[in-house]
Amino acid sequence: MRRNSRARLGVSLLLVAGALGLGATPSTAAPADALAAAPSAIPAPSAYALDAAVERRLGAATAGTYLDRKTGELVVTVTTDRAEEQARATGATVRRVARSAAQLDAVVETLEAEAKITGTSWGIDPRSNQVAVEADSSVSERDMARLEAVAERLGGAVSISRVPGVFHREVLGGGAIYGGGSRCSAAFNVTKGGARYFVTAGHCTNISANWSASSGGSVIGVREGTSFPTNDYGIVRYTDGSSPAGTVDLYNGSTQDIASAANAVVGQAIRKSGSTTKVTSGTVTAVNVTVNYGDGPVYGMVRTTACSAGGDSGGAHFAGSVALGIHSGSSGCSGTSGSAIHQPVVEALSAYGVTVY
């Protein structure tokens, strides 16, 4: 069953700073401004607060939010006069669109029922007011025809594009956090009641209960929770007596402090830090994304262009000092081409009752 998520959505962290030195480490067309290829918007801290306020006030009355690439201002899409009035009351910029959140959700439900094909993903792009579908190179021509037929019946509410490569989880045999003979990356150090943990991808924590900072090294932490598929997050409690810092490795001799967590907003700039590809940059392109991996669908994800490679699974997607996501997988990544997928970190923090620090 698809999780109900409002239309909106390897990496590494310094696990033990200084001690280990480990980087776990037809639609109504969107305005040309919203879709033109250009640098992504860098949100001010207030943009995250405003986005949360819009979600609380409007809920399903908005068809999604995104950042204007020129001004960095939050744009709220609505379909009714009442929703427009409510959105303006929050101080956000408002744009009228053709499809409501309920209509976009219905499109996603149709895709879920009729086109759940391994190698595809779909998510809400509020800039185009459509469900944006991607199909990787493993999707056959027959399945593409099936997907296109479903999209055609949905009357322009779906855009479809091919991406190179194959959507895959990015665990690598052998390097940054190690468990069960595989390498992943940690995302963010978190705390609860004075105890220290790190969060990472659930498809990583499914592999092993015990995690080390080096291949074959002593155990530094023990799994206390894992969820994959459906979600893709897990949590490991430090058991080696360490007190790791809440920073992300930038792989240039410096680190980024993490002070808060938020949900990513379409159009914003984002960075990924991972043990394989180190730090990459990109843009958030879709939210509420379903990814049909070979071992089952994962829901409520975020699609970005901050690319990655094997071993980056579980790492950190972030913007400045704000934690945004836990790296899950990718397809066709090269520079800022292709798709990278992250699990929203706010959901994982809520599930385990932990906070970043």
**Which residues are known to be catalytic?**
203, 232, 313
Cis omega (within 30 of 0) on the bond before 126?
A: no
Bridge partners, residue 302, by sequence? 342
Short-list 183, 180, 2, CA closest to 108: 2
Short-list 216, 215, 210, CA closest to 240: 210
Strands 130-135 and 158-162, sheet pairing = parallel
Of the chain, the end-to-end C-alpha distance in Å amounts to 33
DSSP alpha helices (H): ranges in 59-200? 81-89, 101-114, 141-153
Tokens for 79? 């379909």
Helix (H, G, I), strand (E, B) or coil at 38: coil
What Cα–Cα distance (Å) separates residue 169 from each residue in 162, 237, 297? 19, 23, 12
Short-list 346, 168, 180, CA closest to 265: 346
- Using CA atoms, how far apart are residues 14 and 250, in angstroms rounded to an integer? 9
Asked if 314 and 187 touch (Cβ cutoff 8 Å), the reply is yes
Bridge partners, residue 201, by sequence? none
- Using CA atoms, how far apart are residues 2 and 31, in angstroms rounded to an integer? 30
